Amino acid sequence: MYTFNASVVFIEDDSHCLVVGLADGADDPSHYLILQSSRNFDEQDIRLGMDRLHLEIGGALQPCYGGLESVVLREVSLELLISGEARKKLGIDGAIEVVLTDVSCRARLDVALAQMCAANGVPFVAERK
């Protein structure tokens, strides 16, 4: 399992793509997760399999497109289940778990992840109290 505590949460939404980033620090993080969901794809993107959600983690062998099987946002953590092929590309065993050390961004994270997952056909659960 790839796990870390995220003190930084970055969400950017423009007309081209939605990006969610979580990191263990603002400057030169050692652990991070970046999810990118583009809104438009050309023929080359589709042919190369780049028309799916892009996933990158700190220290990974390589980033990957697709492979995200489900996302669960809890009160203080985020869990991503990843396919076997994506785990091989990323060089990890098991899921990705990110502990949110600052939950003030949780509502924005909920909205962004829900949009991203819906656009990519990935099951998303946001557990609420």
Measured at the alpha carbon of residue 81, what is the angle toward residues 75 and 82, in degrees to the nearest 5?
A: 145
Contact status, residue 2 vs residue 90, Cβ threshold 8 Å: yes
Higher pLDDT, 127 or 123: 123
Determine the residue type at 92: I
- Cα–Cα distance measured from residue 80 to residue 31, given in angstroms and rounded to the nearest whole number: 15
Q: Give 110's contacts (C-beta < 8 A, 6+ positions apart).
A: 73, 126
Q: What percent of the chain has pLDDT over 90?
A: 50
pTM of the model: 0.86
Higher pLDDT, 26 or 50: 26
Mean pLDDT, the chain, whole residue set: 87
What are the strands of the beta sheet with 17-23, ordered from one edge?
Answer: 8-13, 17-23, 32-38, 54-57, 64-65
